[in-house]
Chains A and B, each alone.
Chain A
Amino acid sequence: QLRQSGPGLVRPSETLSLTCDISGDSVSSNTAAWSWIRQSPSRGPEWLGRTFYRSKWYDDYAVSVKGRITISPDTSKNQFSLQLNSVTPEDTAVYFCARQGVGDTLYTFDVWGQGTAVTVSS
Protein backbone atom coordinates (compact mmCIF):
# COMPACT_ATOMS: atom_id res chain seq x y z
CA GLN A 1 0.00 0.00 0.00
CA LEU A 2 1.18 3.54 -0.75
CA ARG A 3 0.11 6.59 1.21
CA GLN A 4 0.91 10.10 -0.02
CA SER A 5 1.27 13.32 1.90
CA GLY A 6 2.16 16.91 1.07
CA PRO A 7 0.68 20.35 0.45
CA GLY A 8 -2.03 21.00 -2.11
CA LEU A 9 -0.99 24.56 -2.89
CA VAL A 10 2.43 25.72 -4.03
CA ARG A 11 3.47 29.24 -5.06
CA PRO A 12 4.96 29.81 -8.51
CA SER A 13 8.78 29.51 -8.60
CA GLU A 14 8.78 27.51 -5.35
CA THR A 15 9.38 23.79 -4.76
CA LEU A 16 6.67 21.13 -4.82
CA SER A 17 7.42 18.42 -2.23
CA LEU A 18 5.46 15.19 -1.77
CA THR A 19 6.14 12.02 0.19
CA CYS A 20 4.95 8.47 -0.36
CA ASP A 21 4.90 6.05 2.59
CA ILE A 22 5.26 2.37 1.69
CA SER A 23 3.64 -0.49 3.61
CA GLY A 24 3.84 -4.16 2.72
CA ASP A 25 7.02 -3.70 0.69
CA SER A 26 10.41 -2.03 1.00
CA VAL A 27 11.77 1.00 -0.78
CA SER A 28 15.06 -0.95 -0.82
CA SER A 29 13.51 -3.91 -2.64
CA ASN A 30 15.81 -5.43 -5.24
CA THR A 31 12.89 -6.07 -7.58
CA ALA A 32 10.49 -3.11 -7.30
CA ALA A 33 10.89 0.47 -8.52
CA TRP A 34 9.14 3.56 -7.20
CA SER A 35 7.73 6.25 -9.46
CA TRP A 36 5.93 9.58 -9.44
CA ILE A 37 3.25 10.16 -12.04
CA ARG A 38 1.05 13.21 -12.56
CA GLN A 39 -2.19 13.82 -14.37
CA SER A 40 -3.48 17.18 -15.54
CA PRO A 41 -7.24 17.65 -15.93
CA SER A 42 -8.70 15.62 -18.78
CA ARG A 43 -5.31 14.28 -19.86
CA GLY A 44 -3.55 10.97 -19.68
CA PRO A 45 -1.06 10.28 -16.90
CA GLU A 46 2.51 11.55 -17.32
CA TRP A 47 5.39 9.61 -15.80
CA LEU A 48 7.90 11.90 -14.08
CA GLY A 49 10.60 9.64 -12.74
CA ARG A 50 11.59 6.72 -10.52
CA THR A 51 14.07 5.49 -7.97
CA PHE A 52 15.11 1.92 -7.38
CA TYR A 53 17.74 -0.18 -5.64
CA ARG A 54 19.83 -2.83 -7.37
CA SER A 55 22.82 -3.18 -5.07
CA LYS A 56 23.03 0.63 -5.31
CA TRP A 57 20.53 3.41 -5.86
CA TYR A 58 19.48 4.51 -9.33
CA ASP A 59 17.06 7.09 -10.68
CA ASP A 60 15.54 7.97 -14.05
CA TYR A 61 13.67 11.12 -14.99
CA ALA A 62 11.44 12.24 -17.83
CA VAL A 63 13.09 14.74 -20.15
CA SER A 64 10.13 17.08 -19.66
CA VAL A 65 11.10 17.70 -16.02
CA LYS A 66 14.79 16.77 -15.95
CA GLY A 67 16.84 19.40 -14.20
CA ARG A 68 13.93 20.38 -11.93
CA ILE A 69 13.10 17.01 -10.34
CA THR A 70 14.59 14.87 -7.61
CA ILE A 71 13.12 11.56 -6.43
CA SER A 72 14.86 10.20 -3.38
CA PRO A 73 14.40 7.25 -1.02
CA ASP A 74 14.38 7.36 2.76
CA THR A 75 15.18 3.87 3.98
CA SER A 76 14.77 4.75 7.66
CA LYS A 77 11.12 5.68 7.06
CA ASN A 78 10.44 3.27 4.17
CA GLN A 79 9.27 6.07 1.93
CA PHE A 80 10.28 8.04 -1.14
CA SER A 81 9.79 11.65 -2.03
CA LEU A 82 9.33 14.00 -4.95
CA GLN A 83 10.81 17.46 -5.21
CA LEU A 84 9.97 19.57 -8.23
CA ASN A 85 11.67 22.95 -8.34
CA SER A 86 10.71 26.24 -9.96
CA VAL A 87 7.07 25.26 -10.45
CA THR A 88 4.72 27.13 -12.77
CA PRO A 89 0.95 26.89 -13.22
CA GLU A 90 1.62 24.18 -15.86
CA ASP A 91 2.71 21.92 -13.00
CA THR A 92 -0.82 21.98 -11.58
CA ALA A 93 -2.01 18.36 -11.57
CA VAL A 94 -2.93 15.38 -9.46
CA TYR A 95 0.28 13.66 -8.43
CA PHE A 96 0.45 9.91 -7.78
CA CYS A 97 3.17 7.69 -6.41
CA ALA A 98 3.23 4.17 -7.81
CA ARG A 99 5.15 0.91 -7.67
CA GLN A 100 6.53 -0.69 -10.77
CA GLY A 101 5.46 -4.31 -10.59
CA VAL A 102 7.47 -7.50 -10.70
CA GLY A 103 7.05 -10.77 -12.56
CA ASP A 104 3.92 -10.70 -14.73
CA THR A 105 3.37 -7.02 -13.87
CA LEU A 106 6.87 -5.89 -14.73
CA TYR A 107 6.87 -2.67 -16.78
CA THR A 108 3.51 -1.66 -15.27
CA PHE A 109 2.31 0.20 -12.20
CA ASP A 110 0.49 -2.31 -10.03
CA VAL A 111 0.10 -0.31 -6.80
CA TRP A 112 -0.80 3.38 -6.64
CA GLY A 113 -1.10 6.03 -3.98
CA GLN A 114 -4.37 7.84 -3.46
CA GLY A 115 -3.29 10.95 -5.36
CA THR A 116 -2.60 14.51 -4.24
CA ALA A 117 -4.16 17.44 -6.08
CA VAL A 118 -1.53 20.17 -6.32
CA THR A 119 -2.33 23.67 -7.51
CA VAL A 120 0.40 26.13 -8.42
CA SER A 121 -0.92 29.60 -7.79
CA SER A 122 -0.03 32.79 -5.99
Chain B
Amino acid sequence: EIVLTQSPGTLSLSPGEGASLSCRASQYVASSSLAWYQQKPGQAPRLLISATSIRAAGIPDRFRGSGSGTGFTLTISRLEPEDFAVYYCQQYGYSPLYSFGQGTRVEI
Protein backbone atom coordinates (compact mmCIF):
# COMPACT_ATOMS: atom_id res chain seq x y z
CA GLU B 1 0.00 0.00 0.00
CA ILE B 2 1.33 3.41 -0.97
CA VAL B 3 1.66 6.04 1.78
CA LEU B 4 1.74 9.78 1.17
CA THR B 5 3.50 11.72 3.94
CA GLN B 6 2.98 15.45 4.09
CA SER B 7 5.20 17.89 5.91
CA PRO B 8 5.17 19.96 7.90
CA GLY B 9 2.00 19.14 9.81
CA THR B 10 1.37 22.81 10.47
CA LEU B 11 2.79 25.99 8.96
CA SER B 12 2.36 29.22 10.89
CA LEU B 13 2.73 32.15 8.53
CA SER B 14 1.51 35.69 7.92
CA PRO B 15 -0.36 37.09 4.93
CA GLY B 16 2.09 38.07 2.21
CA GLU B 17 4.59 35.34 3.10
CA GLY B 18 5.32 32.30 0.96
CA ALA B 19 4.60 28.66 1.83
CA SER B 20 6.21 25.43 0.70
CA LEU B 21 4.32 22.18 1.37
CA SER B 22 5.91 18.78 0.84
CA CYS B 23 4.34 15.45 -0.15
CA ARG B 24 6.55 12.35 -0.11
CA ALA B 25 5.35 9.04 -1.54
CA SER B 26 6.50 5.63 -0.33
CA GLN B 27 6.60 4.46 -3.97
CA TYR B 28 7.03 6.09 -7.36
CA VAL B 29 4.07 8.21 -8.46
CA ALA B 30 3.61 9.21 -12.09
CA SER B 31 3.50 12.96 -12.59
CA SER B 32 0.09 12.62 -14.22
CA SER B 33 -1.26 11.03 -11.04
CA LEU B 34 -0.45 13.60 -8.31
CA ALA B 35 -2.94 16.25 -7.25
CA TRP B 36 -3.37 18.88 -4.52
CA TYR B 37 -6.53 20.03 -2.74
CA GLN B 38 -7.45 22.84 -0.36
CA GLN B 39 -10.02 22.28 2.38
CA LYS B 40 -11.62 24.83 4.67
CA PRO B 41 -13.66 23.96 7.79
CA GLY B 42 -17.06 22.52 6.99
CA GLN B 43 -16.35 22.34 3.25
CA ALA B 44 -15.44 19.66 0.77
CA PRO B 45 -11.89 19.63 -0.57
CA ARG B 46 -11.36 21.84 -3.61
CA LEU B 47 -9.09 20.75 -6.44
CA LEU B 48 -6.11 23.09 -6.84
CA ILE B 49 -3.57 21.22 -8.94
CA SER B 50 -3.77 18.14 -11.16
CA ALA B 51 -0.99 16.19 -12.89
CA THR B 52 1.61 17.66 -10.50
CA SER B 53 1.54 21.18 -11.94
CA ILE B 54 -1.68 21.99 -13.84
CA ARG B 55 -3.81 24.54 -12.01
CA ALA B 56 -7.51 23.78 -11.96
CA ALA B 57 -9.99 26.25 -13.40
CA GLY B 58 -10.12 29.49 -11.43
CA ILE B 59 -7.06 28.76 -9.30
CA PRO B 60 -4.78 31.81 -9.07
CA ASP B 61 -1.21 31.61 -10.30
CA ARG B 62 0.23 32.10 -6.81
CA PHE B 63 -0.39 28.33 -6.43
CA ARG B 64 2.31 26.25 -8.10
CA GLY B 65 2.88 22.52 -8.07
CA SER B 66 6.15 20.78 -8.86
CA GLY B 67 8.08 17.56 -8.32
CA SER B 68 8.49 14.06 -9.66
CA GLY B 69 8.96 10.44 -8.63
CA THR B 70 8.46 10.34 -4.86
CA GLY B 71 8.76 14.02 -3.96
CA PHE B 72 6.23 16.72 -4.75
CA THR B 73 5.77 20.31 -3.59
CA LEU B 74 2.96 22.81 -3.47
CA THR B 75 4.22 26.37 -3.33
CA ILE B 76 2.01 29.29 -2.41
CA SER B 77 3.56 32.67 -3.02
CA ARG B 78 2.24 35.73 -1.21
CA LEU B 79 -0.36 34.15 1.07
CA GLU B 80 -3.78 35.78 0.96
CA PRO B 81 -6.15 35.59 3.97
CA GLU B 82 -8.34 33.08 2.11
CA ASP B 83 -5.38 30.69 1.65
CA PHE B 84 -5.28 29.70 5.32
CA ALA B 85 -6.66 26.17 5.19
CA VAL B 86 -5.62 22.50 5.15
CA TYR B 87 -3.91 21.16 2.04
CA TYR B 88 -3.88 17.53 0.90
CA CYS B 89 -1.92 15.71 -1.76
CA GLN B 90 -3.53 12.74 -3.54
CA GLN B 91 -2.23 9.99 -5.79
CA TYR B 92 -3.90 7.67 -8.26
CA GLY B 93 -2.86 4.22 -9.33
CA TYR B 94 -1.82 2.11 -6.37
CA SER B 95 -3.80 0.16 -3.83
CA PRO B 96 -5.91 1.85 -2.72
CA LEU B 97 -6.67 3.21 -6.17
CA TYR B 98 -6.75 6.75 -4.76
CA SER B 99 -5.08 7.84 -1.53
CA PHE B 100 -4.52 11.11 0.26
CA GLY B 101 -1.86 12.46 2.56
CA GLN B 102 -2.70 13.40 6.13
CA GLY B 103 -2.65 17.10 5.33
CA THR B 104 -0.71 20.28 6.09
CA ARG B 105 -2.50 23.05 7.97
CA VAL B 106 -1.50 26.57 6.97
CA GLU B 107 -2.45 28.89 9.78
CA ILE B 108 -1.96 32.53 10.63
Q: Which residues of A contact B (CB under 8 A)?
A: 35, 37, 43-47, 50, 60, 62-64, 96, 98, 101, 104-110, 112-115
Contacts and interface: CB of A to CB of B under 8 A. Distances in A.
Contacts of A64: 96
Contacts of B103: 44
Interface string B17-52: 000000000000000110101000001111100110
B45 A112 contact: yes
B12 interface: no
A107 B47 contact: no
Contact of A101 (B37, B50, B93): B50
A22 to B, nearest CB: 15
Given A107-B35, A108-B35, A62 B47 contact: no
Contacts, number: 69
Given A109-B45, A112-B44, A113-B44, A47 B97 contact: yes
Contacts of A104: 50-51, 54
Nearest to B92: A107
Given A44-B100, A45-B45, A107-B93, 14 more contacts: A43-B102, A46-B99, A47-B98, A47-B99, A50-B97, A63-B96, A101-B50, A104-B54, A105-B47, A106-B50, A108-B35, A109-B90, A110-B50, A114-B44
Nearest to B43: A115
- Tell which of A47, A109, A113 has the most Cβ of chain B within 10 Å: A109
A107 B35 CA distance: 8
B65 to A, nearest CB: 12
B97 A105 contact: no
B24 to A, nearest CB: 14
